[in-house]
Structures are given as C-alpha cells and as structure tokens.
Structure 1
Amino acid sequence: MKVFHAFLLSVVAAGVLMFPAMSSAASLEPVDSSGVQIQRQEQNGITYLSGGIGEDEAKAIQQSTGYNLHMTFSIGTEGKYVPDVELAIQSAQGQSVLTLSQAGPLVYVQLPAGKYTVVATRNGESKRDTTDVGSAGVRNLVFNWKGDE
C-alpha cells in the first residue's frame, strides 16, 4: 500500500509540474489590479484577451468569463509562459478569423460555434491544432515548444 501511495503522489506531482498553467487556472485569489493592463480587444468582430505576464495579470485573465477558447503558450518541460507567439485562427472554410502578433502567454477568445484551425508560431516553429467550439463550455488548447529556457 505504501508503494501505491508513493506512486500516486509522484504521478500527481509530475502532473502539477508538467501543467502549471492548469494548476493555477482555478485560482480565485484576489488580483492586485494596479499591475494589470489587460483590456478586452476586438478584431473582425471577435472579442479576445491576450496577456498574462506576471502572476496578477495571469490570474485576471484566468478569472475572466465569456470566452469559449482558452490558449496557453509555454516552453520547456516546466511550462514556462511565453508572450511572443504569432497566432492565427481560421474557420473550417479557411477564412482568417483572428490574427495576433506577440500574443500570449494566455489568449482567451469568444468565437461563434464552429470548427477552427489554430496555428501558433514561435521562433519560426509552428504548432497546429483543430478544435470544435460549441455554444456552451470552454475549449482549452496548450501549445508548448521545447527549447530556449
């Protein structure tokens, strides 16, 4: 039984280390708004938030509601947040829906229900994912690049 508990503890610890953004996502701690510069923005009729540099800014975004696509950008095995991502979201028909430069490390978007392709590029390396955003619930996408820690 001790072996099982030790194994279970190591699995939980590894999960927290691998996905730090998710472990803090549920944080309801108060945010010091004096250091937060997050503003709701709009492009092509699509509302979004981009930022999360610093703990208070990250908490402010994570506590935001009304966004059905949440994206996190990070590097390395520790999942260190990075704010320098080129982001492109396209509809299933290939039409550009949202294009951002220097996005992240957190980007929350309110999209109409539908299928989308998301391409996140950092230092010339692109990561691609597809998602089906419904009218209810939140889709979470995590983009992680190996290098330069």
Structure 2
Amino acid sequence: MFSTHHALRRGALIGALAIGFLSPGLSQAAEVHHSGDVSYACGGVGEDNLKALQAMAPRFNLGFWMVEGPQGAYLANVPIQVKHEGKTVAAFTADGPLCYLKVPSGSYTIEGTHRQQKQSITVQTGNKNAYLRWTQ
C-alpha cells in the first residue's frame, strides 16, 4: 500500500510539473517587466492567458489593445514605444494583443509598428481600453 500511495503522489507531482511546462501562457500573463519608471505586462494570447492578464488590470493605470482590420483581429509581437512629452520612456515588443502599463500620471503616445506601418495613439492615464489599430 505504501508503494502504491507513494507512486500515486509521485505521478501527481510529475503531472503537475508537466502541466506547468506545457502551459507557459498561464505563467507569462503574470510577468511584469520594467523600463525606467514604466512597468508593463502584455499578453492575452489564449483565453486563460487573457483572463490572467485582465485580472492584473487593477495594478496598472493605462492599457491598450493592438488589432488589425475591420474585425479587430488581435496582434502579437508588435514593437512598441511609449512616449511622454516627446521622450521615449519605454520600448518593448508586445507578446500579445493587450498591454497594461503603470506610468506616472499624464498623457502618453503609444506607437507600434506592424508590417512596416507605424500607428500611434495618445492616451491619458486612467484609460485602459485604447486601441492601436492597423487597417489591412
């Protein structure tokens, strides 16, 4: 009985570890990066990842989506520059369609490049639902 119980516990542990390794999106959503005074988290690829990232929203004061075309297809791997008063305060590649930022209060220009086309939006802190949109 001891060996059966021990084997079951070992199997459960191995299964839990495998799920962790096979589901990197779940852990990636919680990863917060820093660039100067800016903290940011991007993701949202897959339903679980999106839910985990959206649960983090209260920790941030600015958010934006990256979409393409009239249907608003989600984009990922978009190089982003965050500018405040003309100065770049953060630069990163967004690994999903939704990014949240924690920045000092003010107005920011978010600039992204997709298929060699630059788009930009200007947003105020407090806005967590802005859209950086490319046409096809």
TM-score of the aligned structures, taking structure 2 as reference length: 0.73
Match status 1:141 vs 2:130: yes
Matches of 1:139 and 1:53 in 2, distance apart?
18
Which of residues 76, 82, 89 is equivalent to 2:82?
89
Distance 1:138 1:42 in 2: 20
Q: Post-superposition, which runs of at least 4 consecutive aligned residues in structure 1 deviate over 6 A?
A: none
2:77 counterpart letter in structure 1 = D
Consecutive unaligned residues of structure 1, counting only runs of 5 or more, are 1-32
Letter in 1 for 2:41: L
| Per-residue deviation, residues 42-64 of structure 1 (Å, max 9, x unmatched) | 11131110111111111111121
Query: Match of 2:48?
Result: 56
Q: Percent identity?
A: 30
Please give the TM-score of this superposition, normalised by the length of structure 1: 0.67
Instruction: Please tell me the residue identity of whatever aligns with 1:71.
Output: F
RMSD of aligned alpha carbons? 2.0
Superposition deviation, residue 69 in structure 1: 0.9
The 3-state SS of whatever aligns with 2:129 is: strand
Gaps of 5+ in 2: 1-19
Tell me whether 1:46 sits opposite 2:48 in the alignment.
Answer: no
Change beyond 3 A, Cα 1:82–1:110: same
Residue aligned with 2:63, SS: strand
Residue 59 (structure 2) pairs with residue 70 (structure 1): no
Q: Give the greater-gyration-radius structure (CA).
A: 2
Query: 1:124 Cα shift?
Result: 1.0
Q: Secondary structure at the match of 1:58?
A: helix
